Amino acid sequence: MRRWWLAVLMALAGCSGVPEGLQPVGNFDLQRYLGRWHEIARLDHRFERGLTHVTADYRLLEDGRVEVINRGFDSAKGEWREAKGVARFQEASDVGSLEVSFFGPFYGGYNVLVLDAGYRYALVAGANRGYLWILARDPRLDRATVDTLIGQGKAWGFATDALIFVEQAGRAPTEQ
């Protein structure tokens, strides 16, 4: 588990900001964004490689920051992996641009580029076009919506052909 945290740290260190030429969503409502999101698809990174049933939980802390708990099942090892961090806004609190730290003073960009009016799905990027996630409130997202989000990501220059679709179907392995 310690290696996973280190990989997250190294991947995000010094990577705050927004991908060049893109704008995070406005009229962002953190209260509506809080809670559990399921990872539908992602660009591959070592810190998530091989994980299924990936979720991200967001909870408001008393100091105004957001607790972040990323969790996924490593089927090769038969165990759950978890990374805990904190997020804070990079800009105004009504702009979907945050930065997340899983260790110390190192923050990485977390930019909500697409968010439906019902806060049911989102397209999220890191500080550059090497990080992209499709998230949804439910473990499944209809194909038409996924295709629309992929098309938008591709139009913005993300390597959407390399997206990995995360296994969310079926019963998750027994949680600890």
- Condensed to tens digits (0 to 9), the pLDDT of residues 85-100 reads 999 999 899 999 999 9
Q: Is the pLDDT of residue 59 over 60?
A: yes
Is the pLDDT reported for residue 165 higher than 90? yes
> Is 120 contained in some domain?
yes
Stretch (H or E) spanning 89: strand 79-89
Q: What pLDDT is attached to residue 173?
A: 55
What pLDDT sits at residue 13? 46
Residue 26 located in a structural domain: yes
Give the chain's domain count.
1
- Residue range 40-57: average pLDDT? 94
Distance of alpha carbon 45 from alpha carbon 35, whole angstroms: 24
Any domain includes 129: yes
Residue 3: which pLDDT band, with cuts at 50, 70 and 90? low
Tell me the DSSP string of 98-157. EEEEEETTEEEEEEEEEE-TTSSEEEEE-SSTT-EEEEESSS---HHHHHHHHHHHHHTT
Domain encompassing residue 149: 2-165
Confidence band (pLDDT; 50, 70, 90) for 47? confident
Q: What is the CATH number of the domain that holds 99?
A: 2.40.128.20
Tell me whether residue 35 is in a domain. yes
Owner of token pair 């990872």: 39
pTM of the model: 0.88
In a domain, 176, yes or no: no
Average pLDDT over residues 50-56: 95
Is residue 171 included in any domain, yes or no?
no
The pLDDT of residue 127: 94
How far are the Cα atoms of 37, 49, 176 from residue 172, in angstroms, in the given order? 15, 17, 12
